[in-house]
Amino acid sequence: MPRRAERKAPRTRRWVWVGAWLACIALVGLAYLAGRRASRPPAPAPPPAFTALQDLLGPLEGPSAEIRVADAAAAAVFVDELRQAARRDGVPVTGESRGPSRIRVRLDLPGGPYPVVVRWARPPAEAPRLAVVIDDMGRNLERARAFLDLPIPVTPSVLPYLKHSAGVARLATARGRVVLLHLPMEPRGYPRRADPGPHALMVGLPEAEVRARVRQALESVPGVSGVNNHMGSRFTEQSEPLAWVMDELASRGLFFLDSLTTARSVAFEAARRAGVPALRRDVFIDNERTAEAIGRQLERAVARALRTGRAVAIGHPYPVTLETLRAWAPRFGEAGVRVVPLEALLPTKPGG
Ligand SMILES: [Zn+2]
């Protein structure tokens, strides 16, 4: 027993000493660190990252920032301020792109690109609109159906006296579409170079005959809301017979689209004089029947709508026109242009 007690006592004492030394060392260390901290001048707070940008945008959280401003001018000012703030914070700004109602830029933050979208709301009346009229319909019901099935509301214009004139008109009406009568009129160079088809409006016909031909054509295409001219580069230069035509349209509450097959057309003015709501064609899309040419013309139509607020494009029921319009359907919206039925472009009469 004693032997065991004697052996245990020195060992315990040794551990106490080791513990004390360790405590001393720790205390000295802590004192040293405390002293160092106290003797150092208080370190300035580390600069918060991207102060200028955060002043402008708030915390740079989420995958992107979206800012809403009143209009395009305010958006341009905001993007200028954003560029200045980014320069102060040393952040590169890249990839600026402008749309009709937004400007997008990218801040190249260390953690990755951070898109900033500056949007402004357009009053709906100001949103650029485009009508796409498809002329010369009435020969082929399936083709008409394919055009009506496009994801954009094209406006069919139907020739009278064809096998499917009434069928196409009824099909379009059943789908809630506005239908035009594509009224045949005398072209220059008739009959050698161009033939508008039977019962066309010809220069030199007496008034009663012109009026009768208009009525007859309207009966052949049921349920139309308006009329545009098929060919007619000669007839639409003549004010007097046009006045008879417009009088017939006015008495039925129809509107008129001047296809503008001649630069000297006076049909638009004749319609206005008769109190017929009137529009003019801006772009023919498929005079050249290739996807490239039609794409170029659609770009022109979109540019026109963006510039003036509205545009009227006219095409024909060709397969390449159908396929190009199908390919383009999502691009109108991306360009900031809404495709609308032709009727939506009519000037709204004050008071009704
Ligand atoms: Zn035509």
Determine how many CB atoms are found less than 10 A away from the CB of residue 235.
Answer: 30
Long-range CB contacts (within 8 A, 24+) of 104-109: 105/79, 107/53, 107/60, 109/50, 109/60
Question: How many angstroms is it from 231 CA to the middle of ligand 1?
Answer: 6
| Res 156 pLDDT > 60 | yes
Question: How many angstroms is it from 135 CA to the middle of ligand 1?
Answer: 5
| Res 136 pLDDT > 60 | yes
Digit-coded pLDDT (tens) for 52-93: 898 888 888 888 888 887 777 778 888 998 999 999 999 999
Question: How many angstroms is it from 310 CA to the middle of ligand 1?
Answer: 22
146/249 Cα distance (integer angstroms): 29
Question: How many angstroms is it from 113 CA to the middle of ligand 1?
Answer: 52
75/117 Cα distance (integer angstroms): 10
Question: How many angstroms is it from 53 CA to the middle of ligand 1?
Answer: 58
62/47 Cα distance (integer angstroms): 22
Query: Which of 31-40, 79-88, 215-224 has the least mean pLDDT?
Result: 31-40
| Res 1 pLDDT > 50 | no
pLDDT attached to residue 36: 63
Question: How many angstroms is it from 161 CA to the middle of ligand 1?
Answer: 14
Token pair 């994801």 is found at 151
Q: In percent, how much of the chain has pLDDT > 90?
A: 68
Beta bridge partners of 314: 133, 284
**To the nearest whole number, what is the mean pLDDT of the chain?**
89
- DSSP code at position 140: -
Question: How many angstroms is it from 229 CA to the middle of ligand 1?
Answer: 7
Question: How many angstroms is it from 314 CA to the middle of ligand 1?
Answer: 9
- Let me know if 307 is exposed, middle or buried by CB neighbors in 10 A (0-12, 13-18, 19+): exposed
pLDDT attached to residue 62: 82
Mean pLDDT of 171-199: 96
What residue type is 202 in one-letter code? M
| Res 4 pLDDT > 80 | no
Question: How many angstroms is it from 1 CA to the middle of ligand 1?
Answer: 125
Q: Does residue 211 contact residue 167 with C-beta atoms inside 8 Å?
A: no
Digit-coded pLDDT (tens) for 222-266: 999 999 999 999 999 999 999 999 999 999 999 999 999 999 999
Question: How many angstroms is it from 304 CA to the middle of ligand 1?
Answer: 22
| Res 99 pLDDT > 60 | yes
- Please check whether the two domains, 52-121 and 125-345, share a CATH topology: no
Question: How many angstroms is it from 65 CA to the middle of ligand 1?
Answer: 50
Query: Which of 45-59, 71-85, 92-106, 320-334 has the least mean pLDDT?
Result: 45-59
Q: Counting every residue, how long is the chain?
A: 352
Residue 320 neighbours by CB under 8 Å, 6+ apart:
286, 289, 290, 291, 294
Mean pLDDT of 21-46: 66
pLDDT attached to residue 2: 47
Q: What are phi and psi of 32, to 5 degrees?
A: -60, -50
pLDDT attached to residue 279: 98
136/172 Cα distance (integer angstroms): 14
Mean pLDDT of 200-221: 98
Confidence band of 295 (pLDDT split at 50, 70, 90): very high
Q: Is the domain covering 52-121 a CATH 3.30.720 domain? A: yes
Question: How many angstroms is it from 182 CA to the middle of ligand 1?
Answer: 7
Residue 249 neighbours by CB under 8 Å, 6+ apart:
214, 227, 255, 256, 271, 274, 276
Q: Does residue 270 contact residue 251 with C-beta atoms inside 8 Å?
A: no
Q: Does residue 247 contact residue 239 with C-beta atoms inside 8 Å?
A: no
Token pair 């009229």 is found at 133
Confidence band of 350 (pLDDT split at 50, 70, 90): very low
Mean pLDDT of 338-350: 87
Mean pLDDT of 19-40: 69
Question: How many angstroms is it from 134 CA to the middle of ligand 1?
Answer: 9
Q: Is 185 helix (H, G, I), strand (E, B) or coil?
A: strand
At 272, which helix (H) or strand (E)?
A: helix 267-273
Query: Which of 9-23, 29-43, 126-140, 170-184 has the least mean pLDDT?
Result: 29-43
Question: How many angstroms is it from 88 CA to the middle of ligand 1?
Answer: 61
Domain extents in the chain: 52-121, 125-345
CATH of 125-345 among 3.40.50.720, 3.90.79.10, 3.20.20.370, 3.50.50.60:
3.20.20.370
Determine how many CB atoms are found less than 10 A away from the CB of residue 152.
Answer: 17
What would you measure as the largest C-alpha separation in the chain, in angstroms? 147
Confidence band of 33 (pLDDT split at 50, 70, 90): low
